[in-house]
């Protein structure tokens, strides 16, 4: 009884010691490595005053007039700039970009959906046919096909069929009929 | 043969939309070359040139760093991962959208499965449903 109590105390103390050691070695929540950028170079909350806007524009390497943050709707954008929704397909292919495959220069502010607008994904280049024309044509075609398929399901229409007719008196011998007996006569026609 | 109205030009049909850009010939933003616009373009070019110079200095450094960090990339990553929750605020719009995307599918599939099960139960009770596995 006493040994069990002592064992419990020892184990509890050891466990508490381990937990304290781990807590002191771990970083407090929200800490970042010192090799990362300083807090003022990272994105922050929505800018409220004109000074904050100017500082944010300078941080993102943009002109103050060009800098337009996302509206403060609580969606989590912070002070990140709202750039025009144009994909990397539209950028000049002949300019000497720092990163030619991404068509992106070092330090240039990246679109929030940059990974969507890369050259293997969404393309917002102007289309040969106006977009509304394309949309109308597509919807007309799709709805026509769906309506016709639906009508075909509701009112099916096939060629008339009858039961299959087999020769040799309904395959009398193949079905194991006695070859010595006279097979029953089967006629598939009516005269 | 009476002439009809002239055919509508393609330019009118090409309206601005949210999915593709207008061609440069139809985009009014590419038309004006006012001095203000040219000054703005010159300022943007100056910023671009300074950034290029910074990058090229690091790139052609005889003792280059192991990785040339792109602060724009780091800011983009930080903004999309760690800066979202601190700037999130429960508003009517965010609450509504959160409910639609989080609770909506659960309720929808609950309704679908319940309806399907009830239909099957009704068919079994009426004897119309062919059981795929034997029960005896």
Least confident of A111-125, A138-152, A175-189: A175-189
Q: Please list the helix, strand and coil fractions of chain A in percent, rounded to the nearest 5, in that order.
A: 35, 5, 60
Task: Answer whether residue A190 shows pLDDT above 90.
Answer: no
Structure confidence at residue B55 (pLDDT): 95
> Which residues on chain B are in Cβ contact (under 8 Å) with A73?
91, 93-94
Residue with tokens 């039961």: A163
Using alpha carbons only, give the angle B47, B53, B55 rounded to the nearest 5 degrees: 105
ipTM, 2 dp = 0.79
Task: Answer whether residue A16 shows pLDDT above 60.
Answer: no
Distance CA A174, CA A166 (A): 11
Task: Answer whether residue A167 shows pLDDT above 90.
Answer: no
The CA–CA distances, whole Å, from B51 to A64, B42, B45, B79, B91 equal 17, 14, 10, 21, 39
Structure confidence at residue A55 (pLDDT): 94
Structure tokens given for B115:
């309806």
Tell me the DSSP string of B60-74: T-SS--SS---HHHH
Distance CA A110, CA A118 (A): 11
CB contact under 8 A, A107 and B93: no
pLDDT class of A163 with cuts at 50, 70, 90:
confident
Q: What is the mean pLDDT of residues A167-186?
A: 84
Structure tokens given for B45:
């070019």
Task: Answer whether residue A12 shows pLDDT above 60.
Answer: no
Calculate the dihedral angle through the C-alpha atoms of A136, A137, A140, A146, rounding to the nearest 10 degrees. Answer: -120
Selected for mutation to probe chain A from B12, B58, B79, B86 (highest A CB count within 10 Å) is: B79
Distance CA A87, CA A104 (A): 11
Selected for mutation to probe chain A from B71, B74, B101 (highest A CB count within 10 Å) is: B71
Structure confidence at residue B29 (pLDDT): 80
Distance CA B87, CA A9 (A): 46
Q: What is the pLDDT of residues B63-121, one digit of tens each?
A: 988 999 999 999 999 999 999 999 999 999 999 999 999 999 999 999 999 999 999 99
pLDDT class of A36 with cuts at 50, 70, 90:
confident
Share of chain A above pLDDT 70, in %: 82
Structure confidence at residue A150 (pLDDT): 97
Least confident of A94-98, A110-114, A177-181, B112-116: A177-181
Q: What is the mean pLDDT of residues A5-11?
A: 53
Structure tokens given for B102:
């989080």
For A27-166, where are the alpha helices, taking DSSP H only?
50-59, 131-154
Least confident of A20-24, A48-52, B56-60, B98-102: A20-24
Structure confidence at residue B27 (pLDDT): 83
3-class DSSP assignment, residue B80: helix
Q: What is the pLDDT of residues B8-51, one digit of tens each?
A: 666 677 888 888 888 888 888 888 788 999 999 999 999 999 99
pLDDT class of B3 with cuts at 50, 70, 90:
low
CB-based contact, A42 to chain B, within 8 Å: yes
In the Cβ-directed half-sphere of A67, how many Cα atoms lie within 13 Å? 21
CB contact under 8 A, A63 and B70: no
Structure confidence at residue A188 (pLDDT): 82
| 8-state DSSP, A99 | B
Structure confidence at residue A134 (pLDDT): 92
Residues 6+ apart with CB under 8 A from B130: none
pLDDT class of B127 with cuts at 50, 70, 90:
confident
Distance from CA of B19 to the nearest CA of A (A): 6
Least confident of A49-63, A77-91, B3-17: B3-17
Cβ atoms B20, A132 nearer than 8 A: no
Classify residue B46 as exposed, middle or buried by CB count within 10 Å of its CB (0-12, 13-18, 19+).
Answer: exposed
Nearest to B84 by CA among A59, A44, A83: A44
Beta-bridge partner residues of A99: A104
Distance CA A68, CA A78 (A): 11
């Amino acid at each position: 009884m006493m040994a069990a109590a002592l064992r419990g105390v020892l184990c509890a103390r050891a466990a508490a010691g381990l937990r304290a050691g781990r807590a002191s070695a771990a970083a407090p929540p929200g800490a970042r490595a010192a090799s990362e950028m300083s807090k003022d170079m990272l994105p922050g909350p929505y800018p409220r005053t004109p000074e904050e806007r100017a500082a944010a524009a300078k941080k993102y390497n943009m002109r103050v007039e060009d800098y337009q943050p996302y509206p403060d709707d609580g969606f989590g954008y912070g002070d990140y700039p709202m750039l025009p929704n144009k994909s990397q397909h539209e950028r000049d292919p002949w300019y000497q970009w720092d990163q030619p495959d991404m068509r992106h220069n070092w330090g240039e502010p990246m679109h929030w959906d940059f990974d969507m607008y890369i050259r293997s994904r969404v393309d917002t280049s102007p289309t040969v046919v106006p977009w509304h024309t394309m949309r109308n044509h597509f919807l007309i075609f799709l709805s026509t096909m769906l309506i016709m398929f639906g009508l075909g399901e509701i009112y099916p229409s096939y060629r008339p069929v009858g039961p299959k007719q087999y020769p040799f008196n309904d395959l009398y011998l193949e079905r194991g009929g006695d070859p010595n007996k006279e097979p029953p006569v089967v006629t598939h026609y009516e005269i | 043969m009476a002439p009809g109205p002239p055919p509508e030009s393609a330019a009118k049909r090409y309206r601005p939309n949210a999915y593709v850009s207008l061609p440069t010939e139809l985009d009014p933003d590419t038309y004006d070359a006012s001095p203000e616009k040219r000054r703005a373009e010159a300022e943007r070019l100056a910023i671009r040139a300074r950034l290029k110079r910074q990058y090229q200095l690091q790139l052609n450094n005889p003792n280059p760093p192991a990785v040339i960090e792109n602060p724009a990339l780091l800011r983009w990553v930080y903004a999309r991962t760690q800066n979202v929750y601190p700037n999130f605020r429960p508003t009517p719009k965010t609450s509504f959208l959160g409910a639609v995307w989080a609770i909506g599918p659960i309720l929808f599939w609950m309704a679908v499965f319940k309806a399907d099960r009830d239909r099957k139960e009704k068919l079994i009770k009426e004897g119309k449903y062919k059981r795929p596995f034997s029960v005896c």
